[in-house]
Structure 1
Amino acid sequence: MDETLKTKAKTGIAGMDDVLAGGFTRGHVFLLEGSPGTGKTTVALQFLVEGAALGERCLYISLSETREELCESAESHGMEIGDEIEIFELVPPESLLDADQQQSLLYSSDLELGETTKLIFESFERVRPQRVVIDSLSEIRLLAQSSLRYRRQILALKHFFSGSGATVLLLDDMTSDNLDKTVHSVVHGVIHLEQLARNYGPERRRLRVLKYRGQAFRGGYHDFIIKTGGVAVFPRLRAIEHKTSFARTVLKSGIKEFDELLGGGIERGSSTLLIGPAGTGKTLFALQFVDAAVKRGERAAIFIFDEELGLLFARTKSMGLDLQKMSDDGMIHIEQLDAAELSPGEFAQRVRERVADYDAKTVVLDSVNGYHEAMPEENALILHMHELLQYLNRQGANTFLTVAQHGLVGDMKSPVDVTYLADTVILLRYFEAQGMVRRAVSVIKKRTGKHEETIREYKITDDGLTLGQPLTGFQGILRGVPTLVNENKPLLLQGEREDGDHS
């Protein structure tokens, strides 16, 4: 066999080639199925355009769309159908649309099916292509009128193409009432595209490889989108495939009292969850580590789901964190995301690109609440989060997640429990004391070393975060209403006098 036939025929879609372990095995017949609107024609066009770019002859046999429609579809994505791509329209002659000209005896299903097959073979012999697309099998299924004749027709197509060395992609829009799955057992591989309608926001598309003979592939569902330029596939992330070596050093936040609470700091390549009600400063605590990373000369990536970037830049600059300057200097990548427009696979791909291409060593996801809204199934969210955190940890990146709890004081509820996924969990709380609403911070979990078991009060001022000494004279702080148990341990920040002034 020629050496070129042993290689894979790339699809022209990087993510799909990753899922297929390089592309389609040359010289075989594959099935691409999905309901109308899932992107089959776009994938087929990209497959042929990729072949044309490699100098291969390509043939698109259309049983449903006209040449003009296919060219318009290609042009809308910026694709050019050149001389290497032959489009053969296999549509009924205009006389068949005239009731006076129709003759049931002359145009019986037997004759139509036989003529259709003959025209397909003749067009192939004329062009002798290396890549072929037949769109679609639904028309052949309707002409066959029975499962037996349909299966025989597919077998005839397969046997004809198998000896030609061409890579063939059959499209099926699955619109027939009787969906015959026998073609699955005939073809070399099957890719299924589907489109899911959500309660709000755009539809979500995903694909799955149902079958690929003699070839390992990336199983499961993979998100994809159709955008200007074609289809983009986001392969399911498997953290086990991405492992690097790095020194597990201890990283500090830049606030002495906060680092003491953390037992000296956090370990490189770990994840930290900041959890608490709205307004407690979860984002500010995470950005403190971003500022420390930038001062060390490291890059950071910040993904914001909930807050408008202009407002975030303004309020943090007044506290001494100039995110705009960090961004202008190329030290941070900050991106505002719309949960209603994003799939988990696309988000994971964006994070991976920031770590792999931008070399971000600190990643902030603010917040998991917004990320959760992009996922209709909570169980799938946990699995996505687990793989993403494991991937970031293996890359030596530090991840900071924020979760806004429901409620303000007392019993709190979280929309999703991800505390067991994080290596470090920092709990933020409101509490009432001396007629004032105050804030308290504590570390309730740290896998990578010891930490203080105390609770410290903190304040958010124009100078940023200020933490006090451990609060040892009170109990019930996490319930929101503490009681005094030691009159010698007043509830004050470090350096604060009883009259409320600062020394």
Structure 2
Amino acid sequence: MHDDIQVVEKARTGVVGLDNILVGGLAPGHLFLLEGNPGTGKTTIALSFLLEGARLGEQGLYITLSETARELRQGARSHGWTLPNNIEVYELVPPESLLDAAQQQSLLYSSDLELGETTKQIFEAFERIQPTRVVLDSLSEIRLLAQSSLRYRRQILALKHYFARFGATVLLLDDLTTDTLDKTVHSVVHGVIRLEEMAPEYGAERRRLRVLKYRGQAFRGGFHDFTIKRGGVQVFPRLVASEHRTGFARHAMTSDIAELDALLGGGVEQGSSALVLGPAGTGKSTFVLQFIAAAVKRGEKAAIFVFDEELGLLFNRTRTMGFDLEQLRDSGLLHIEQVDAAELSPGEFAHRVRERVDFAQAKTVVIDSLNGYQAAMPDENALVLHVHELLQYLNRQGATTFLTVAQHGLVGDMKSPVDLTYLADTVILLRYFEALGKVRRAVSVIKKRTGAHEDTIREYRIDKGGLSIGAPLTNFQGVLRGVPALVGSVEPLLSASIAK
């Protein structure tokens, strides 16, 4: 690095994930705007900003025009925070003379006196405390006192130049309850962060933020999901797969079932994705669990994210087929998690998957199913983009990903709620078909980017012994349509070729 380039230490916000989006934090000595409707988390982020400064030994000042100091401290306690001595809460209230009708001036607008008195009190509090970090909550009151856009702009410029003289980093809060079309502050401040809250038709509210502006500084654009929980705000930076790449040796992951591995041309390659398609009840989860069990048997770590099935029922059901998921979980090699689509944003889900891969070193990841994942998405187009980035990221980390999708219908022409076949490296197709008075199941591989695979259709069976794969159904035609025609003997059928 050149000697004449000065690296400026950023003022970290103390909010998990937000400093990552801001590439380090807020540039010191500047004004920043944090805007959003009431309830979006502005006060919580502002308190985190001051607490982070206090942890570093910096003096903080919270100037509140809209909340009382008592309400502010109660809000801090709800997160388990106690404001230290080096954070001063200054509750700015109108002087008593302005509240007394007998003392009000008749020749001057009271707003003129209030605005000037308000600014004076802000400056006096600042000079008395001499803070490094300042929060001003909120601009809506100042905008109302200014009454005109011109006076409001002048007031903001006056605040900017005053604070700049002392090198303070200032966070201005705006609750957008007045003129939301007025972009005066946007043009004056150094950076703008907007918080949004969305209410889906069902489930918990979803919150997201976006950096609208940051002068002279690169930042992570787009929307980023975040949550407010006890302990503060946690932001989940939007996943960009191109930023993550690791080196690893590719090899085929086998299922420990010779016929299934043969159908897949030797197995599923590490660092690739496999999509298991089929109608309800065909055993999509059983197929992916077979690969999970084989991976854990090899001593590898794995993770399962279940959207559709209650874990207790899943444990009981799979135990009868030879998969003791509880034992695998207790061994420390398998992480299994129930995901509530109504309470989880896509950004938080991607963050949970990344945690298992980055920190727990999981090499096999199962998402069961994408139908449940889709319920957490605002629209189908966004789902495809989220899944694309997630699969690219997992592939570049050397993790093998299995996804399941339940198709609509039972036999014949199947419909998928979302088409992801072009994203997956391998596509395994499961089907029902009728033969000799019984409903049977067939499996085929219709796509594999990473190598050759069988183009045959094999029957399979799921019973107490687990998953069994038969020989290719060479004597039937029309299996994928659901009602095949017999063109030879019935010997290739699984029930006839495997002794009970």
TM normalised by structure 1 equals 0.96
What aligned pairs does 1:162-311 form with structure 2 within 5 A after superposition? Answer: 162-177=164-179, 179-311=181-313
Give matches, 1:24-423, under 5 Å: 24-93=26-95, 96=98, 102-105=104-107, 108-177=110-179, 179-423=181-425
CA distance, structure 1, for counterparts of residue 47 and residue 268 of structure 2: 50
Report the CA distance shift for 1:177/1:29 in structure 2 as closer, same or farther (over 3 A).
closer
| Contact residue 64 and residue 91 of structure 1 kept, 8 A | no
Structure 1 residues 94-103 or 24-33, which shifts more? 94-103
Q: Would you say the 8 A contact 2:470–2:492 is kept in 1?
A: no
Whole-Å Cα distance in 2 between the matches of residues 154 and 299 of structure 1? 55
Matching residue within 461, 464, 480 for 2:463: 461
Q: Relative to structure 1, is the Cα distance of residues 112 and 249 closer, same or farther in structure 2, using a 3 angstrom cutoff?
A: same
Tell me the distance in 2 between the aligned counterparts of 1:171 and 1:228: 21
Whether the aligned pair in 2 keeps the contact of 1:5 and 1:27 (CA below 8 Å) is: no
Matched AA of 2:403: L
3-state DSSP of counterpart to 2:58? coil
* Secondary structure class of the residue paired with 1:288: helix
Residue 179 to residue 103, structure 1, CA distance change in 2 (3 Å):
farther
User: 1:108 Cα deviation (Å)?
Assistant: 1.7
Counterpart of 2:17? 15
Offset of 1:461 from its aligned partner?
A: 1.0
Q: 1:95 to 1:160 in 2, by over 3 A?
A: closer
Q: Secondary structure at the match of 2:342?
A: helix
Q: What is the CA–CA distance in structure 2 between the aligned matches of 1:53 and 1:134, rounded to whole Å?
A: 20
Q: 2:499 aligns with which of 476, 497, 502?
A: 502
**CA–CA distance in structure 2, aligned partners of residues 415 and 98 of structure 1:** 65
| Superimposed CA distance per residue, residues 365-421 of structure 1 (whole angstroms, 9 cap, x where no aligned partner) | 000000000002111111100000000000000000000011111111111111111
3-state SS of paired residue (1:14) = coil
User: Conserved in 2, the CA contact under 8 Å of 1:59 and 1:129?
Assistant: yes
The residue identity in structure 2 corresponding to 1:245 is G
Deviation of the 1:325 alpha carbon: 0.5
How far the C-alpha of 1:215 sits from its partner, in A, is 0.6
Amino acid at match of 1:426: I
Q: In the alignment, is the contact (CA less than 8 A) between 1:8 and 1:26 conserved in 2?
A: yes
CA contact (8 A) 1:458 1:465 kept: yes
List per-residue Cα deviations over 1:185-231 (Å, max 9, x = no partner).
11000000011111111111000000001110000000001111111
* Aligned residue identity for 2:420: V
State the alpha-carbon separation in 2 of the partners of residues 440 and 262 from structure 1: 14
Query: Which amino acid in the other structure matches residue 353 of structure 1?
Result: E
Q: 1:5·1:26 contact (CA, 8 Å) conserved in 2?
A: no
Q: Secondary structure at the match of 1:37?
A: coil
Runs of 4+ in 1 over 6 A off after TM superposition: none
**Equivalents in 1 of 2:173, 2:425: separation in Å?**
47
Inter-partner Cα distance in structure 1 for 2:374 and 2:307: 10
Matches of 1:437 and 1:99 in 2, distance apart? 87
State the alpha-carbon separation in 2 of the partners of residues 262 and 289 from structure 1.
Answer: 12
In the alignment, residue 431 of structure 1 is paired with which amino acid?
F
- By how many angstroms is 1:94 displaced? 5.6
Residues 114 and 285 from structure 1, CA distance in 2 versus in 1: closer, same or farther, beyond 3 angstroms?
A: same
* Percent of pairs with identical residues: 72
Alpha-carbon shift at residue 502 of structure 1 (Å): 1.5
For residue 179 of structure 1, report the CA deviation from its aligned partner.
3.7
Q: Is the contact between residue 62 and residue 134 of structure 1 (CA under 8 Å) also seen in structure 2? A: yes
Q: Which of 449, 456, 460 does residue 447 from structure 1 map onto?
A: 449
- What is the deviation of 1:315? 1.2
Conserved? CA contact 1:257–1:468, under 8 Å: yes
SS of 1:420's partner is coil
Pick closer, same or farther for the CA change 1:317–1:182 going to 2, 3 Å.
same
Q: Which amino acid aligns with 2:178?
A: S
Query: Given residue 502 of structure 1, which amino acid in structure 2 is its aligned partner?
Result: A
How many aligned positions are there?
496
Q: In angstroms, what is the RMSD of aligned CA positions?
A: 1.6
* C-alpha contact 2:138 2:175 (8 A) present in aligned 1: yes
Give the drift of 1:171.
Answer: 0.4
Q: Tell me the SS of whatever aligns to 2:411.
A: coil
CA displacement, residues 108-127 of structure 1 (integer Å, 9 cap, x when unaligned): 22111111111111111111
With 176-185 and 157-166 compared, the bigger mean Cα shift is at 176-185
Secondary structure at the counterpart of residue 80 of structure 1: coil
The alpha-carbon deviation at position 177 of structure 1 amounts to 3.8
Deviation at 1:268, TM superposition (A): 0.5
2:303 match: secondary structure: strand
* Contact residue 471 and residue 492 of structure 2 kept, 8 A: no
Cα pair 1:5 1:165 within 8 Å, conserved: no
What secondary structure is seen at the aligned counterpart in 2 of 1:408?
coil
8 Å contact kept, 1:25–1:167: yes
Separation in 2, partners of 1:439, 1:178: 59
Measure the CA separation in 1 of the matches of 2:156 and 2:478: 73
Matched-pair contact (CA < 8 Å) for 2:408–2:414: yes
**1:224-263 deviations in Å (ceiling 9; x for gaps):** 0111111110000001111000001111010000000001
For residue 125 of structure 2, what is the amino acid of its counterpart?
S
* Structure 2 match to 1:490: 491
Gaps in structure 1 of 5+ consecutive residues: none
Per-residue CA deviations over 1:275-327 (Å, capped at 9, x if unaligned) read 10011010010011110110111000100000000111111111111110011
Q: Which sits farther off after the overlay, 408-417 or 433-442?
A: 408-417
User: After alignment, is 157-166 or 435-444 more displaced?
Assistant: 157-166
Query: Cα–Cα, structure 1 residues 422 and 5, in superposed 2: closer, same or farther, change >3 Å?
Result: closer
TM, length-normalised to structure 2 = 0.97
Letter in 2 for 1:231: V
Cα deviation code 1:442-496 (max 9, x no counterpart):
0000000000000000000101000000001111100100001223x534117x3
CA contact (8 A) 1:49 1:80 kept: no
- Displacement of 1:14 in angstroms is 2.3
Cα gap change, 1:146 to 1:106, in 2 (>3 Å): closer
